[in-house]
Copies of this chain bind each other. A is one copy, B any other.
Amino acid sequence: MTSASRITVFDMRIGELAERAGTTTRTLRYYESRGLLPARRAVNGYRTYDEGDLRMVRQIRTLQDFGFGLEETRPFVECLRAGHPAGDSCPASLAVYRAKLAELDTLIDQLRSVRAQVGEQLLRAEAQLPEGPDPQCEFGG
């Protein structure tokens, strides 16, 4: 089984993984330092990755683009590492989804509230300041 899986594995080094994942080597080392992306090592000490690692990095990047913190991506990565078909094939990942949805809802509500208040302030202040953006308006009585 182990030998069979290795047959189709093209190992790569950190630079290639970074390029294929659309990120930087610095970022991948950072993920490793956080325990998200442990790397095997070649005899010369170089980090060695395979296609599975690429999937994990892409999963992390997708979630990061959604505004997930790194820690929030951990369940997804561990889910993939456990051999599941997708990062969100595990209950822990779904829990993160749900928590993020609630967080987003709260945040969006707050921002809309702020937007409304700022809008009111603007209208009120504009009413005080007679210098509008349309000088020829209401000219002739």
Contacts and interface: CB of A to CB of B under 8 A. Distances in A.
The contact size tier of chain A is 20 to 34
- Interface residues of A, dominant DSSP: helix
Contact of A94 (B100, B114, B129): B129
A104 to B, nearest CB: 4
A66 B117 contact: yes
Given A89-B129, A122-B97, A131-B91, A104 B115 contact: yes
Chain copies in the assembled complex: 2
Given A88-B121, A121-B88, A122-B94, A101 B115 contact: yes
A11 B53 CA distance: 64
A105 interface: yes
Interface string A108-141: 1001101101110110111011010000000000
A41 interface: no
A117 B107 CA distance: 16
Nearest to A89: B128
Nearest to A124: B88
Given A97-B122, A97-B125, A104-B118, 10 more contacts: A66-B114, A88-B125, A89-B128, A89-B129, A91-B129, A93-B125, A100-B118, A101-B115, A104-B111, A108-B112
